[in-house]
Amino acid sequence: MSDLLLLVPFVAVIFLNLLPKRARGAALWIAFGVLVLEVAAAFAERFATIEVSAFAALERVFPFHLATDGLAGLLMLCAGLVGMAALLVARKTFEDADDRFFFSNLVLVALVGINGIAMVRDLFSLYVFVEVTAVATFILITARRMAGNEGDHAFEGAWKYILLSVIASVLMLTAVGFLLLSTGEITLAAAKEALATQDPLAWIAMGLFLCGLFVKGALVPFHGWLADAYTAAPAPVSVFMAGIVTKASGIFALLRIAQSTLGGAAPGREILLVVGAVTIVVGAFLALTQTNMKRMLAYSSVSQMGYIVLALGGDLGIGILAAGFHFFNHAISKSQLFANAAAIEKELGTLDMDEMGGIGSRMPVTAGTTAVATLSIAGLPPLAGFWSKLLIVLALWNAGEYAFAAVAILVSLVTLAYFLSLQRRVFFGKPLEKWAKVHETAPGLLVPAVALALVTIALGIGFPFVLKVLLGGGA
């Protein structure tokens, strides 16, 4: 069953390319169907571990074990929901049928990588699937022929991502090598045992692997590539990339390692705490004065990823839950915000917030859903983001990390400040004269935004129930 999650998107890609040129319009809906299956799989009963041993002779060195659990289900759910939203945005913003076809293909390729990340249990396979995802991302960013791309900017954004990704690859491969030298095994469980013995080589390997993932997840100071890559990408690509792709390859992998390998051991915990806190602060302050809407959202992403990593440094009993829930909330709200940005860009032709003003009265639905998402990420009750932040603070508090808990709370204020400034600059006030003819965007583009906003509200209000399910399900 688990291997199907890898095979289905893969076969779907091959199938799409066998379609006659006339039938390519269906590609987007086929990809959408695969994502529906993905969401269904996330809710399906946890299937047992299966062991696909690809290289029987090298079993010990290159095991290839797949297993799903609550955490994997969470990633699949996020991937499915965000992917659907991205496809719906693509349907309305890519005018060329070839672009839509192309995008659908790459979403499926990335999905293979994401599902792999969700299910693997060893560092080498993790590295492989992170790279699979990254390759799909490079192409998505650079695809200059796609509409709405800003020529050389796209190349610049992708170039930075590739350069830093190469460094990450080197770090992670070195880490795998070191771990093999140290223990002769590379499963997460084996790594945990090696770390427990305070073996320096194993710890250096873990440090390097973490650095690689920090680059992928764009944590400060490994975040240089992110803003340009997000800003340069065309609208649906930003939705998909910001919502799930980079989060899965960097942050989710960190979650998995924190859960299965680090287990709160020093100095891994301290590294996560410090990097998380620095990321939160720097990301939030960077977002504060941005004028490009997508760039502000990009830095906000950086800051929010810091929260997740910070939670992993807290009391792991709550920390994993908190990080997972914040991961979900962020995936939902941020992809929704990028979808809103896409709507604004489509109607106004710009993302420069200095040129906007009073759009709210012209685009009330977009303004409303944006408010829901921004307030949720800023952590205002009763929206979903409030609860995940509360859990994060609780995880830190229980671990006795009061200073870090204080950072988490105080930076929420900065988060609120930059998001309110976004709302004010874009939506509030009287519409400027040049936007007098702007009207609400197409219903097709509103559907993903409204649906995701409703998820945020429902999760927030129904939180006691959600928490009960989360605790019962052991996610």
Q: What SS3 class is residue 48?
A: coil
Q: Where are the alpha helices (DSSP H) in 143-151?
A: none
Closer CB to another protein, residue 93 or residue 303?
303
Q: How far is the CB of 463 from another protein (least distance, A)?
A: 7
Nearest Cα residue to 210 out of 180, 240, 183, 176: 176
The tokens of 252 are what?
């989710």
Q: How far is the CB of 475 from another protein (least distance, A)?
A: 14
Q: How deeply is 197 buried, as exposed, middle or buried, from its count of CB atoms within 10 A (0-12, 13-18, 19+)? A: exposed
Q: What SS3 class is residue 350?
A: coil
Closer CB to another protein, residue 184 or residue 317?
317
Closer CB to another protein, residue 185 or residue 199?
199
| Interface ranges with another protein (CB under 8 A) | 156, 159-160, 163-164, 167, 171, 198-200, 203-204, 206-208, 210-211, 214-215, 221-222, 224-225, 227-228, 266-267, 270-271, 282, 285-286, 288-290, 318, 390-391, 394, 414, 417, 463-465, 467-468, 471
Q: How many CA atoms lie within 13 A of 179 on its CB side?
A: 30
Q: How far is the CB of 201 from another protein (least distance, A)?
A: 10
Closer CB to another protein, residue 94 or residue 222?
222
Indicate the helix (H) or strand (E) that contains 65: strand 65-66
Angle between helix 188-196 and 152-183 (nearest 10): 60
Q: How far is the CB of 197 from another protein (least distance, A)?
A: 10
Cα(222)–Cα(94) distance, integer angstroms: 32
Closer CB to another protein, residue 115 or residue 246?
246
Determine contact, residues 236/339, Cβ cutoff 8 Å: no
The tokens of 255 are what?
């979650």
∠ CA 286-291-293, nearest 5°, is 90
Q: Which residue has the tokens 């379609």?
A: 19
Closer CB to another protein, residue 82 or residue 194?
194
Q: Convert 8-25 to b/e letters by CB count within 10 Å (16 or more is b).
A: bbeebbeebeeeeeeebe
Cα(242)–Cα(376) distance, integer angstroms: 17
Closer CB to another protein, residue 71 or residue 271?
271
Q: How far is the CB of 445 from another protein (least distance, A)?
A: 21
Closer CB to another protein, residue 417 or residue 442?
417
Q: How far is the CB of 226 from another protein (least distance, A)?
A: 10
Closer CB to another protein, residue 289 or residue 350?
289
Closer CB to another protein, residue 403 or residue 471?
471
Residue 119 Rama label (left phi>0; alpha psi -120 to 50; beta):
alpha
Determine contact, residues 377/284, Cβ cutoff 8 Å: no
Q: How far is the CB of 154 from another protein (least distance, A)?
A: 14
Q: How far is the CB of 110 from another protein (least distance, A)?
A: 23
Q: How far is the CB of 398 from another protein (least distance, A)?
A: 9
Q: How far is the CB of 195 from another protein (least distance, A)?
A: 9
The tokens of 326 are what?
């914040």
Closer CB to another protein, residue 30 or residue 365?
365
Closer CB to another protein, residue 33 or residue 267?
267
Task: State in Å, rounded, how far the first CA of the chain is from the last one.
Answer: 20
Residue 252 Rama label (left phi>0; alpha psi -120 to 50; beta):
alpha
Q: What DSSP letter does each residue of 239-270 carry, written as one string?
A: HHIIIIIHIIIIIIHHHHHIIIIITT-TTHHH
Q: How far is the CB of 468 from another protein (least distance, A)?
A: 5
Q: How many CB atoms lie within 10 A of CB 270?
A: 11
Cα(24)–Cα(292) distance, integer angstroms: 35
Cα(394)–Cα(402) distance, integer angstroms: 10
Q: How far is the CB of 10 from another protein (least distance, A)?
A: 32
